[in-house]
Structures are given as structure tokens and as C-alpha cells.
Amino acid sequence: MLSLLLLPLGFLSDGEAVDYGRDVRPILSQYCYPCHGPDSATREAELRLDRADVLGDDRHILVPGDPEASELFYRVTTDSEFEKMPPAASKKTLTSDQRDILKRWIQQGASYEDHWSFRPIGNPEPPAMRSDWPRNAIDRFVLARLEAAGLEPSPEADRRTLIRRWSLDLTGLPPTPEEVEAFVNDDRPDAAERVVDRLLSSIAFAERMTLAWMDAARYGDTSVFHADGPRDMWPWRDWVMRAYHRNMPFDQFTLEQLAGDLLTEPTREQLVATGFLRNNGTSDEGGAIDEELRVSYHVDRVKTVGNVWLGLSTECAQCHEHKYDPIGQDDYYRLFAFFNQSVEPGFQTRNGNAEPTIPVPSAEQERREQEITADIAALERWLSEVEAPEAALSAWTSEQRQELLALDPPTLSPWQALGPFQGPSSKAVFQKEYGPESGVDLEATVEGHTWTPRPDLADGKVQPLGLPANSALYLTRTIHVEQPGERVVSLGSDDTIQVWLNGESLLSKESYRAAQADQDRVTLKLEPGDNTFLFKICNGAGDSGLYFKLLGLPLPDPVIAALKKDAAARTDAERRAIRDHWVRSVWDEGQQRQSRIGKQQKALTELRQSIPTTMIMRDLEEGRPTFVLARGQYDSPKADQPVEPGVLENLLPLPDAAPRNRLGLASWLIDPDHPLTARVAVNRYWSMLFGHGLVRTVMDFGSQGEFPSHPSLLDWLARDFIESGWDIKRAIRQIVLSSTYRQQSIAPEVLRDHDPENRLLARASRFRLQGELVRDLALSVSGLLVDRPFGPGVKPYQPEGLWNEVSLNKNVRFSQDHGEALYRKSMYIYWKRSAPMPVMTIFDAPTREKCTVERQRTNTPLQALVTLNDIQFVEAARHLAERMIAAGDDFDTRLRYGFELCTSRPPDDKRRRVMREIFDAQWADYAKDPTSADLLVSVGESDRDGAIDPVEHATWTVLASILLNLDETMNRE
Amino acid sequence: MDPRIEREQTLTRRALLGHGARGLGALALSSMLPGVVKPAPQNGLAELPHFAPRAKRIIYLFMSGGPSHIDLFDYKPALRRIHGIELPDSIRQGQRLTTMTSGQTSFPCVAPMFEFQRYGRHGTWVSELLPYTSQIVDKITIVKSMNTEAINHDPAITFINTGNQQPGKPSLGAWLSYGLGTMNRDLPDYVVMISRGNGNLQALYARLWGAGFLPSKHQGVKFRSAGDPVLYLSNPPGIDGETRRRMLDGIASINEQRRQETGDREIEARIAQYEMAYCMQTSVPDLMDLSDEPDWVFDLYGEDAKKPGTFASNCLLARRLAERDVRFIQLFHRGWDGHGNLPREIRGQCKDTDQASAALVMDLEQRGLLEDTLVICGGEFGRTIYSQGTLTKDNHGRDHHGRCFHTWLAGAGIKRGFEYGKSDDFCYNIVESPVHIRDLNATILHQLGIDHERFTFPYQGLDQKLTGVEEAHVVKGILA
């Protein structure tokens, strides 16, 4: 019956008018544009077939109404070797259907129109339908198309299937059996709406949406190129989740990610949002050329924005004019110029985030930071405002003044040097005691070295030492004073520094640095007579040197200067200097506070170091000129072709008032008149919910992309999206509540044969869950899932050695997490882009080195090996088994519970029989071989319920593993 | 019957069943599960091959890091005379250098610190570092005029393996898997194995064997020397072969039931993939188990071949994979990046690779497999004639050099005993018959019966090709 009604699926039936955009343009684009299209550089015979200009051509290329008189038709039908088009060399040939379309198009007047997606979004009225099937406008469009094709919609799916579909599509997790039961028994008229609204308001919805956005935004936890070092961009990912959770309108979502930093007084969140643009791969390769890299980052940004918002590939125009779409090379570099203002360099780091970055403290860290800062400020205020006890201060002042005046200048002997001593490493020579440490004996010979005078080493200037790599040099001198007293000495060294006075160690620092004045200070407690000062300097490699200068009393220079003056002659500032020093460093009450400031400052530094950062966008204040790059080469800017930041004016002009920066770009994209943004966005949502878009080529709305299956529906959805204020949840809600979405996916063979790809939507799609959701489902039904949102990536189980076998100089090892981190949702898995988690890539996850808007769905033996053997899935099976065992005492109750967890349906009789047979055989086997049972129930790091008999537990684990591997578990139906 | 024998028989029956699902296996499976039609074919594109192929399979010995053409094959006695002289501007021609040496004030040329002799019918110069390869020069073609624009590892290795310096494109092996499908039923059609030498180890990336925009099932499958040879291959502890079989039968039976209920044919493919996974559990360990190889094989490949994870062992496995009709076998050997201590490092690298790669060619030949197996051995670029860092009596480095390097090929219609292309006296510029890496890739496709111009995949509005948008030419000159 059904088969008799079916019309051919092709868009065009005999006698129907051809549609230029749908039928003709794809042919011209595919076969003719390469030589007769927008690209002037490759244009042949001065002929353009992408525009209507050709109609007036006196070459009679196209004679409206008369194919036989049209050169074009002749060329595509002739057998003449020299005249045939496309030419033989192109190795392309038109089919007879395609020729027929061209013929009918010319017959019907050869009318041109702009490519459908570049035309303004229409305002189509949903067709009036007599049927009561439609629930909303979406259904009216779909039904009209079905009726035209002689089809009827499929019946609505049962409630169990529906709630599972909603839950998986909207939250990435299956419903609990309790949720299923509640919905099945809910006879309120708005039961469906209640379920959908509950799901949409959950944080899991935000996670599901973010997961898709992470592919588009090429999110990763590493830098991609060369060392593929770590970075922290998860605060950006968390920003995306929060935005989806509170239903930030898509226009705002766009604006903040592309230009949050350019908003007036941007909030921290708005700055974090711009991390979208920093997710591109960056390089730290030693030989790399900075400008080459810098340009490549912006090329990636143009590509990503083009793919995600415009649904266009712009890349061709990097090197030449686009062959298919009206994007010139200058257009390309105008887009490029928006990003070319960024401050970041080409050569970046393998160790964390590259500037510009922003700290993103947690609420607790923020509170703590404020607390410490406030404490320091209060202490500072006290110290500067306190009334200093006059008597004590003036007594100290005059005492110090007298001491200062009585001070005898110490006598310094010239330096004596011993060494250099060479060793296997700088650390070794730093640590090794060669002798002088325990007493300087100028007569001693140590490893063949003797003390040599070095009068050439002058004080107060950095003195090069010329030490070999990995060597140590000792230097000593005497400091003679008549009176005991303290003196400060200012030191510098290249590299490490160790200091002793009279055999007592005063300083020891393994620092690798270039010598400068005043890198360290030590206070010398000098005894009357000769004091022995000993210096040890070790050189790691390269230059070496020292700096030495004896200062006076352990007082700051301005205080000494002030003290030297007669009290009456001191200025206010000098009095203040003395007072401040006394309050902070001498007076007990002040000293205590000063030392607390020190401690607090240390705590603050540590706190700030522990606060994560995330990378953001920032533009150069002075701007950077952009030129068209010849053949797209970074080192070939065309000096005579400077360009200003600008948009694709063919699509929609940029208003004169719009700023010529990313803010202008973003506002252009979200202009309600923009023909692409809303269409591309709603098509992406549709694709997530139906398994394919209304436009199949989700990433290509250009002339090479596919024509929409339901053009009016797409426009209606896009228009509705804009008019609702870019309300994402509303757009999704009305799709999932439509009758179209609620159809069953079960369909008779004849319908599948007729429409294998389900383009007409006469049924719901049935497709395998994406990789993350396959794993999350196993964790969820087993009860292992630690459902905690936000935060840095986690490292669950993964086979050993995967990072190291590809890592630069074999030093990057995967270190697996333990405890709760093993059971977080898969979207939180630490994403190393040169060696991503294999479970995910085996299940089609992209590496995320580049923007991906739509994933492939494949079906491979390696996927079976993962879900059967991976420790994560086996562990999940044994926990699912525990839950099944806990559900009841008899086989049927337990099996039913497990089945419902996995599929939201009870098992039918056939399934029950299959499982029962396996159960019995398996039980018998494990009873004979309890060791194997013990092994199986010990897989994974989580605890097991020791009260369960291992044989019973193992048997149920086998059944649970089967459940996790069923097609109906892994599919959203 | 002894239960162990019974189990063995079951396993054998099941393993058989998995082989050739379009033949016996499919029939058996469908008779067991009424209603199963035939599994979705794993074949490639109907239009391929475009013409009769010379090669059925490829073994690509990829030398990661950039082996020095100067110290291995590109010898000319005149090199001895330029040792120590500054690289003339007329040779460098303002060419861009990596920033590791662009700041050097002196560019002293370095002749190889190794002896060279002429081998074979045509007196081919080969370095003393390659005593075994020198014995097969009459079987191979050495292309001495390879070139690439990339001058750093990451872009260069991505370029030669995927046709583009930027990530996102499918690898050569993924293209082949997509275009030609698989020739066997119980092994992947694209296998990757990694080994490392003692030289400077540059990173590798999943994208080098990734599927890019092609369906991910075409990505290379890594065979590993430690742990499971194929990730997740082994049954978990406590699951034996019998249990696994029982589970698979249960899964298949319920899946088949679901297929009948839903009419979804993708479920047939899932059933078939689970069977194939099961077959792999037997076929991969069989493949990796070298105990059936006679001693003379280890004499041929070298003692290292007994050590899992070595290049030699991987070469032997490559031959076993070729025998089992795996289409594309790619070995990555790391450590060729001789920036600082080239003489010492390259000696070690050659010691790791020379004997086994020559053995592989000889072994394939004696088994009649060289006829239709294309063997390729080369890296992402060569190295500079000038020294990176100080040139001393016995040490020097060489920086990356993309303008000229070597690759050798053997088998499947490639000329025997042939040298192609020529560099100048400084091994710096090509003076005759340049072969861009795109040309090499076009030639590889050609040997498989594929016209690189017509082998496309529509993605983002473009007919994407392995060789990209720039022109590429089959190197007809090296074809027999």
C-alpha cells in the first residue's frame, strides 16, 4: 500500500519547474566554476557562469527559452573532443540527468538568483494542514513535504522511548527507571513539557551543549604543535557551560566570545569568554619562525569563525579568490585583519598558558585574596599612622648617629682564588665540599689547585670569571676592623652562590643566573681583627662572574644619610625616613606587624600562584597593518594591497558606525539581517537532535553545500530564533516537543529503502550515541558516575605508554588519576591533542586540533573491543551487576532492572530467554572456576560489595557487560 | 570430549566464521541468525582502482626527524674539498633557515665524517653506515631530489603524511583505507608501529595516522609492543574465550532481534563488527607471535628482531602483516634529528635500521611479495650541508633542510638499481628532476591504481585531495 504511494525521492520530478538554487547552481558550481566562476585568476575565455551577466553575452552562451541555440547546452552535450565541457582534462563528466536539468532550466528562461543561503532569511508562513498531527509550526512544514511525497508520518514513539530520547539528546545521560516510570504514569496534559523543561534546566543540558561547542571551538588541554604542552583553558569551557545553563542568548554568546575584551569595562567573565579565539593550536618548536606561526593562528581563527558562524569555508581565499563562493582574497584578508591586531606572539610556550591571560580564582580563593590584601593594608596603615613613642625613637636615633660617626672603615685584603674544580654537573660541584668550607688555608693544595692572588677582581662592579661549565671557584679575603660591629655586603653571582664568614655559612643558593649588582645581601658580624670572608661560585654553563661591595651599617642608605646629619638640619622627609625605619624594624610593636606583612605577602604570592589562569584576547593599542599575502605566504605581504578590517560585504554590509574591530565583526554576525548566522545555528541544533541537519553539509552553506531538505522550515526556525531574542532553549524546546521529533524510529523496510537517510523525516532517526555518551551511559547505569560539573580535566584509565611513545624526547608521561576523577563525565577527560584518549577517538571523537562542527559516526571492531574489554566498561559492568543484584532476589527482577537502566524498557520474553541461558551456563562455569570469578569482580579501582558471593557477582557482571554492549543500549532510538 | 578440545574446536569454528564475511562467514552467520542479510561491505569506492594497480600493499618505513641525505646516499667526492669552507651565498640563495641556525655568523660546510663506496651494477655511492642497504641497491630506486617547503618538524611531518602542513587532513593510509577498503577480514587495513632510536626524539602526533575529515574508521591502528598489541584487545581478567563467545552470541542474538524490530540495517554492521573484533582477538596474537619464524629469519633481520618494539622486530611484523594482506603498514622510527651530535647519533640510528630494512626487501622478494608490495623508506626532510653549532674534528650538527633530501623505494613496479634526481655540489639545491613530497604521494597512489587528481572527498565545499590544491605529478621516471 505504502509503496504504491511513494514518489521518487529526488527533489525534481518530471515536469516540475527547476529551481535555480536547488537544481542548477550545484551543477554549475561543481563543473563550471573552477574555470568560469568567481576566481578571476583561473577564469577561462573571460566567461563567468556564476552571474546573470552572461545572459546578455553576444556569444549566445545562454539563450533563455532555447537550449538548442545556447552555446552552454551545446558544449555540455557535444561529443567533439575540442568543444566538450567540462574538458576531458578535468576528468569530470555531466550525467544525463544533469544535462536534462540544464536544458529545462534554459527552457524555463535560464533565470539566475543568488545562492539560497546568501539571500535574506525569509518569513515563511507555515502551511495550513488539515491533519491534526502537527503540534507546532515545524510539523506543518514537515507534513506538507511528506504529503507532497505521498508519505505519512510514523506513529509517535512510546513514552519509554521518548523520555530516553529526550534525556540522551538533551543531557547526554539516560533517564533513571524511576524517571521513566513517573513519565509513563503521568497523565497530566503537559507531562511531556514537564520532562523537557526539567531536562533543559539541568546543568547536564549545559554540559551536553558545551560538549558540542568544544568540538566547534577546537577545545583542548594542550597546545597541539611540537611539544603539545599543557595549557589551562577549562575556565573558558566552564564559562560556556554557565552561559548555556542560564540560557544566554546566542547573540550575546557570540559577542562575548568573539569580542568580550572590547566591550566597555568588560567583566572578568567577558574576558574569559574570548578564550574561544585562543583555543587554536600554538607552537613552541625551536626552529620556528615567529611570523609564520602568528599568521597561521589568525588563519585558523578566520577558518573557525567561518565554519562556526557562517557555515562557509573561507580557506581557499587565503591563497586565491574562492572558486565557488563570492569571497575574494581581499575579503579574506579583511577578515584576517580583525584578528591580526592581537598582541600574542607566534612563538608560544610548552609550559602552560601564553599571555595574554587572566587569573580565574575560585570564590574561596577570591575571598582569601581579599582577606589578605585587606589585612596587609590595615597593617600598613597602622605602621604609617602610629604615633611613635618619642623618647625611645630619639634615644635610638642619637645612639645610631654616634655609632655611625665613630665607625671605622674596614680594611679589605685582595682576593685569593682556588680552583676551578670541575665535576659531572653543576649540582655536583655545588654540593661537593672541596675543603675551604671547613677553614681557609692559603698554603693548602687541593686536587692540584693552590690559592692564587686575584687583585684584578675589583669591588662594586660585575667581574667576569671565565669558569668552564660545571665548575666551582673559591674566593677568599680578610676584612679587618678595630671595633666589633655589623656591616652589610652586597653580592651578585653567575651562577650559584655560597658565602661563609669565619667558617660560618651565611648564604647558599643554587641559582642559575647572570651576575648583577645587589642580587643578594648578607649582614656580616665582624669581630675585631681579621675576619675571613669566603665565597664559592659554581658555573653551570656559559658566562660566569661575581659582584662584591661592602656597605655600611645594616641600615637603608637614606636612613644612614639622615642619621649623619645633625638633628636640627634634617628635613621632614629625613625625619620620616628615620621614624619609618625605627617603627618597622626596631620597635617591637612595629616589627611584629612588619613581619606579619612579610608573612601575608608570602601567603598572597603563594595564593596567586595557585590561582589558575585562562588565555584571553587582547589587541595591540597601536594596531597592526594588514596586507594581502601573496599565495597566502606569511613572508609575502603585498605592500600595494593594504587592507582594513572588514566583513563579507556581499552577504551584508557593515554599517558605517560599526567599529572596525572584532566588536564590529561580532555585531555584523548577530545582525538580525545576516543571512547565515541564524540558519547555521539552528541547523546545528537540528543536526544534534536528528542526527543530521536540514542542510546536510552542516559546515558548508556555500554553493558547494547541499540544498536544504526543508528550506522554508529552516528559514522559519532561523527567523523564529532571531525574533525570540536568539533564545537557544526555546529553539531546542520547540523542536523536541514537535510531533516530527516524537515519531518512532522503527520503520518498515520499504520506507527505509525509499529514504535511507531519512531526509523527509517520515520517522525519527536512530543513531549510535557519540563516544562520550557511550562511556557516560555505562558510568551512569552502573551508579559509578561522579556527576560533578566544572573544573580542570581528569585522567581516567588509559593503556600505558600512549603519551610517551609519541612525546618529544620521551619525557611526557600520562599519570592516571584515582578516586572520583575516574568516574567523571567524559567531557572532562583531559584532552591531549597529539595523543587523545583512545576510547574517544575510536568512537569518532576528533582530535580537536581544528574546528569540527559535525562528527562522523562509524561502526568498527575496535569499538566492540573498547566496550567489551576496557577496564572502565568492565568495572561499570560489575557495578551494574551489584545494582541488579540489589534490585531483588529473583532473576527476573534483577534482569528487568538492568535492562531498564540501559534501555528504559523491560526485556521481552525472547531477550529474557537469551539472558537466562547465558546466566545458567555462566554460573556453572564460575562455580567450577571461582578464581576467574574473583578476577572479574576485581577489575577497576573501586570497591566491591564484599557481601555478594563472587560467583554470583561475576555471573551478573557478564550479563551486565552484555547489556552495556547491546545495540539498543548504545543507540538513541 | 575433553572440554578443552571442545573449546578449541569452537574457537576454530568461530574464527573461521569471521573470515570473509561476504563468503562462508556471512552464510554461516546468517544461517545461525535468521534474517541477517549480509554485513555492510567494507569495500572502498566503486570507481577505484582507476587503472590496473602495480601494488597491492605498502610498507612505509618512516624515518622521523629528518635523516641526513649527505651522510647516507647523496655523496660526491667533491664534498671532501668543501669541508670547512663557508657556505657560498650563491648556494644558499637567501633561503630561509630555521631560527635554530639563522643567527649563526658562520656556516662551515661539513663533508660526511664517514667513508663511502660504490655498490651494485651502477656504482651507487652508499655510506659505510649502511652495510646492509648497500647490498640491496640493485633492488631499489633512490630518489635524491625530494623536496618540501616545510623547515620544521611538526609542519614537515604533517605535510608529508597528510598533504598539508596544518592539522585536519587525512593521512595517506586513511585515504587508502577509504578509497580501496580492506583486503582482509580479521586485521585492520592500516597498521602503524612506532620504534625509537637513541637520537634526538621529535614528537609524533595522532594526526599523522589520523582520518582527518574522513570517517574515523579509516584511521591507522597502532600495533604496540607492550601491553595489548592492539588497544583493548585482550579479554578482561576472568573472561575466557568460552565466556566471550557466549557473550558475543547473546549480544548478536539480541541485536539481531532488535534489527528485526526496528528495520535498522546499521545493526547488521554492528553484529559483523563484533564478530570481527572476536576474530582479531585470535589473529592479532597469532600475528605478533614470532615463535614460528625460523632462525634464519632472525639472522636476516638481526637479533634485534627478537626484541619487541625495535625497528627490526617491527620490520618482521610488517612482513607478516603484508603476508596477511594488510593494505598499508607504516613504521615510524624516531631519533634522526641530528642537531648537535650528528656523527654519533646517525651511527646509532643506522645500526637500528639498516639491517632490518634491507632484510625486509630481501625477504619480501624471496617470498614473491615484492612484486606487489611497495616499500618506501624516508623522512620528512634532509639536513644542511653546513654545521649547526661548532664544527670540530669529530663532531658537528646539521640543521633541517627541506630543499633536498632522499627517499628510497622498492617493489611494485619501481625501477630496480636506479638513482633519480641530482643535487648540486653542496647537496643543497636540486639541479635535476626535483620530486616534491606531493609528487611522491601522487606516485604512491599511482602504483595502487589511483589517479590522484580524481581521488577526492567532498568536504567543506571542496573536492579534497591527498595531494592538495597545488599541482602534483607522478614520477614516471622511477617506474619500471
- CA distances (Å), origin A904, targets A64, A176, A177, A184, A429: 60, 8, 6, 11, 69
Which 8-state DSSP code applies to residue B213? T
Q: How high is the ipTM of this complex?
A: 0.83
Contact criterion met (CB < 8 Å) for B167 and A859: no
Q: With contact defined as beta carbons under 8 Å apart, do A615 and A281 qualify?
A: no
- Chain centroid to CA A62: 51
Instruction: Check B251 against A863: CB less than 8 A apart.
Output: no
What pLDDT is stored for residue A15 in this prediction?
56
Structure confidence at residue B307 (pLDDT): 94
Rounded Cα gap, residues A825 and A872, in angstroms: 12
Q: Which helix (H) or strand (E) holds A411?
A: strand A411-412
CB contact under 8 A, A808 and B201: yes
* Mean pLDDT, rounded, of chain A: 92
Report the pLDDT value the prediction gives residue A576, as an integer from 0 to 100: 92
What are the angstrom distances between the C-alpha of A50 and each of A27, A40, A492, A968? 11, 12, 73, 48
Of A226, A800, A936, the CB nearest to B237: A936
Of the residues A967, A968, A971, A972, the best mutation for testing chain B's interface (the one with the most B CB atoms within 10 Å of its CB) is A967
The pLDDT assigned to B5 comes to 42
Q: How far apart are CA A922 and CA A926, in angstroms?
A: 6
- How many whole angstroms separate alpha carbon A555 and alpha carbon B151? 58
The residue whose grid cell reads 663532531 is B395
Chain A residues in contact with B239 (beta carbon < 8 A): 932, 936, 958
A877-889: pLDDT as tens digits = 999 999 999 999 9
Q: In the prediction, which pLDDT does A14 show? A: 52
Residue type, A815: S
Residue of B nearest to A864 (CA): B274
CA distance A212 to A691: 13
pLDDT at A916: 97
- Would the pLDDT of A33 be above 90? no
Task: Give the separation between CA A911 and CA B269, rounded to whole angstroms.
Answer: 20
CB contact set of A450 (below 8 Å; sequence gap of 6+)? A418, A444
Q: Which of B160, B162, B178 is nearest to B170 (CA)?
A: B162
Q: How many angstroms away from the CA of A643 is the closest CA of chain B?
A: 25
Per-residue pLDDT band for B9 (boundaries 50, 70, 90) equals very low
Minimal Cβ distance to B237: which of A703, A838, A935:
A935
Which residue, among B217, B234, B259, B465, would best test binding to A if mutated, counting the most A CBs under 10 Å from its CB?
B217
Angle, CA of A794, A800 and A805, to the nearest 5°: 105
List the single residue in A299, A748, A801 with the smallest CB-CB distance to B263.
A748
Of residues A115 and A833, more confidence is placed in A833
Q: Which residue has the higher pLDDT, A542 or B241?
A: B241
Kindly report, residue by residue over B361-398, the tens digit of the pLDDT.
999 999 999 999 999 999 999 999 999 988 898 999 99
- CB proximity list for A931: less than 8 A, separation 6 or greater: none
Reduced to 3 states (helix: H, G, I; strand: E, B; else coil), residue B379 is strand
- Phi and psi dihedrals of B218, rounded to 5? -90, 0
Of B205, B211, B400, the CB nearest to A806: B205
At a CB cut-off of 8 Å and minimum separation 6, what does A236 contact?
A219, A272, A273, A275, A276, A278, A279, A614, A615
Could you please report the per-residue DSSP string of A634-701? TT-EEEEEEE-S---TTT-PPPTTS-SSHHHHHHHHT-TT-SSHHHHHHHHHHHHHHSS-SSS-TT--
Per-residue confidence at A810, pLDDT binned at 50, 70, 90?
A: low
How big is chain B by its Cα radius of gyration, in Å? 24
Residues from chain A contacting residue B224 (CB–CB below 8 Å):
799, 801, 805
Here the cell at position A118 is 546568501
Query: CA Rg, chain A, in Å?
Result: 38
Q: Alpha-carbon distance A89 to A183, whole Å?
A: 63
The chain B residue lying nearest A858, using CA atoms, is B217
pLDDT for the residue A6: 43
Contact yes or no for A699 and B460 at CB 8 A:
yes
Considering only residues A62 and B108, tell me which one the structure prediction assigns the higher pLDDT. B108
Residue A605 burial class via C-beta count within 10 angstroms: exposed 0-12, middle 13-18, buried 19 and up: exposed
- Is A754's pLDDT higher than 70? yes
3-state secondary structure of A296: helix
B203:A937 CB<8 A: no
Residue from the list A281, A319, A918 with its beta carbon closest to the beta carbon of B250: A918
Q: Which residues of A fall within a CB distance of 8 Å from B259? A: 967
Q: Closest-CA residue in chain B for A960? A: B247
pLDDT at A13 over 60: no
Please judge whether B250 and A281 are an interchain contact, meaning their C-beta atoms are less than 8 angstroms apart: no
> Which has more confidence, A380 or A423?
A380
How is residue A380 written as a grid cell?
Answer: 600598613
Cβ–Cβ below 8 Å for B250 and A747:
no
Mean pLDDT (whole number) for A785-800:
96
| A800/B217 Cβ within 8 A | no
- Mean pLDDT within A859-873: 96
Which residues from B are below 8 Å from A290, CB to CB? Answer: 99
β-bridge partners, B126: B117
Q: Determine if the peptide bond prior to A645 is cis (ω within 30°).
A: no
> Which three cell numbers, joined as nine digits, stand for B39?
554485513
Q: Is the pLDDT of residue B41 over 50?
A: no
For residues A626 and A330, give the distance between their C-alpha atoms in angstroms, rounded to a whole number. 10
pLDDT digits (tens, 9 = 90+) for A449-493: 999 999 889 888 899 998 988 899 999 999 998 888 888 899 999
Whether the per-residue pLDDT at A58 is higher than 80: the answer is: no
Instruction: Give B258's pLDDT tier (boundaries 50, 70, 90).
Output: very high
Q: Length of chain B in residues, anyone?
A: 480
Which amino acid is residue A413, in one-letter code? S
H/E segment holding residue B195: strand B190-196
In whole angstroms, give the CA distance from residue A575 to residue A567.
9
pLDDT of residue A411: 85
What pLDDT is stored for residue B42 in this prediction? 53
Angle, nearest 10°, between helix axes A711-723 and A137-148? 170
pTM (2 decimals)? 0.83
Please give the Cα distance from B409 to B140 (Å, whole number): 6
How far CA B204 is from CA of A814, B90, B339, B393, in Å, comes to: 15, 35, 18, 33
Among A747, A841, A965, select the one facing B206 at the smallest CB separation: A841
DSSP A154-176: PPBPPHHHHHHHHHHHHHSSPPP
Distances (CA, A) of B155 to A508, B160, B161: 45, 9, 10
Contact B205 A834 (CB under 8 A): yes
pLDDT of residue B6 exceeding 50: no
Amino acid present at A14: D
What would the pLDDT profile of A607-633 be if each residue is shown by its tens digit? Answer: 999 999 999 999 999 999 999 998 889
Residues of B in contact with A850 (CB under 8 A): 166-168
pLDDT band at B26 (very low <50, low <70, confident <90, very high): very low
Count of H helices and E strands in chain A? Answer: 36, 19
Work out the minimum CA distance from A810 to partner chain B, whole angstroms. Answer: 7
Q: Which residues of A touch B469 (CB under 8 A)?
A: 316, 319
Q: Which residues of A touch B269 (CB under 8 A)?
A: 859
Chain B contact set for A749 (CB, 8 A)? 263
Query: Would you put residue A844 in left (φ > 0), alpha (ψ -120 to 50) or beta?
Result: left
**Facing residue for B152 by CB, picked from A288, A697, A925:** A288
Interface test with B, best of A772, A812, A860, A956 (most B CBs within 10 A): A860
Cis previous bond, A495, omega within 30: yes
Residue of chain A whose alpha carbon sits nearest to that of B271: A967
Q: Which of B101, B258, B388 to mutate to test the interface with A (most CBs of A within 10 A)?
A: B258
End-to-end CA distance of chain A: 26
* Predicted confidence band of residue B215 (pLDDT cuts 50, 70, 90): confident
pLDDT at residue A895 tops 60: yes
Q: Are A956 and A923 in contact (CB under 8 A)?
A: no
Which residue type, as a one-letter code, is found at position A481? V
Phi, psi (5° rounding) for residue A539?
-110, 130
Residues from chain B contacting residue A676 (CB–CB below 8 Å)? none
State the pLDDT at residue A95: 87
Distance from CA of A557 to the nearest CA of B (A): 44
DSSP H helical ranges for A463-565: 557-564
**Count, residues in chain A:** 973
The answer on pLDDT for A119 being more than 80 is: yes
Q: Do B236 and A874 touch (CB under 8 A)?
A: yes
**Interface contact A968-B236, CB threshold 8 A:** no
Comparing A2-6, A85-89, A757-761, which segment has the lowest mean pLDDT?
A2-6
Which residues of chain B have a CB within 8 Å of the CB of A932?
237-240
Between the alpha carbon of residue A496 and those of residues A500, B29, B134, B367, B414, the distances in Å are 14, 74, 52, 64, 61
Residues of A in contact with B216 (CB under 8 A): 841-842, 844-845, 856, 858
From chain A, the residues in CB contact with B273 under 8 A are 859-861, 863-864
Q: How far is B136 from chain A (nearest CA, A)?
A: 31
CB A289 within 8 A of CB A346: yes
Q: Which chain B residues contact residue A919 at CB under 8 A? A: none
Residue B423 DSSP label: E
C-alpha distance from B402 to closest chain A C-alpha (Å): 13
CA distance A203 to A170: 10
Query: Count of alpha carbons within 13 Å of B165, Cβ hemisphere only?
Result: 15
Count contacts between A and B (CB, < 8 Å). 252
Inter-chain contact A869–B462, Cβ cutoff 8 Å? Answer: no
User: Which chain B residues are Cβ-neighbours of A863 within 8 angstroms?
Assistant: 273
B215: nearest CB among A850, A858, A914: A858
Helix-, strand-, coil-residue percentages of chain A, each rounded to 5:
45, 10, 40
